[in-house]
């Protein structure tokens, strides 16, 4: 597999909708929610006018000319919000590209870019049952708050 991690181009921002849908954690044996869930305010904060805010930053994994995954962050009132100076993150891979190291590469690239932009930390929300918790811990995230079924996690960033 020949993968390239790069900044997402503005004309690719509409594809964040599909990656947001793929980022929804579904417990084993449960049916995924309908795509109309993306039109609710809780999900629109990840998409609406993306690219207009100073913290709006996205990277993609491209494999053989197609987008395989995306990681993006922005200051927003989402599930992982901790304060108005901390970008919250979302990350997603198409199912056929999971478990191959692309998520780790995407997350690392996004954290580096946010650090270069001068942000001190990044945050996210993750279901405790999601295998990605281990990915986040390896990347330097720590649990800030235990919310029952999910964690709010933060990661310190270093600028260059």
User: Given pLDDT bands bounded at 50, 70 and 90, which one contains residue 2?
Assistant: confident
Q: What is the mean pLDDT of residues 100-108?
A: 95
**Rounded to two decimals, what is the model's pTM?**
0.94
Q: Residue 97 in 3-state DSSP?
A: helix
So what's the pLDDT on residue 28?
87
In tens, the pLDDT along 44-81 reads 999 999 999 999 999 999 999 999 999 999 999 999 99
Confidence check: pLDDT of 160 > 60: no
What share of residues in the chain are helix, strand, coil (percent, to 5)? 30, 30, 40
What does the radius of gyration of the chain's CA atoms come to, in whole angstroms?
A: 15
């Amino acid at each position: 597999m020949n993968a390239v991690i790069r900044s997402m181009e503005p004309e690719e921002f509409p594809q964040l909708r599909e990656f947001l849908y793929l980022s929804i954690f579904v417990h084993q044996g449960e049916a995924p929610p309908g795509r109309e869930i993306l039109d609710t305010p809780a999900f629109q904060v990840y998409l609406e006018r993306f690219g207009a805010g100073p913290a709006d930053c996205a990277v993609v994994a491209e494999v053989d000319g197609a987008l395989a995954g995306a990681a993006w962050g922005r200051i927003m009132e989402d599930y992982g919000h901790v304060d108005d100076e901390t970008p919250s993150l979302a990350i997603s891979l198409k199912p056929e590209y999971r478990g191959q190291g692309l998520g780790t590469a995407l997350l690392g690239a996004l954290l580096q870019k946010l650090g270069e932009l001068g942000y001190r930390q990044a945050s996210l929300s993750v279901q405790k049952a999601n295998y990605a918790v281990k990915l986040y811990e390896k990347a330097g995230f720590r649990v800030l708050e235990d919310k029952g079924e999910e964690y709010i996690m933060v990661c310190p960033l270093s600028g260059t």
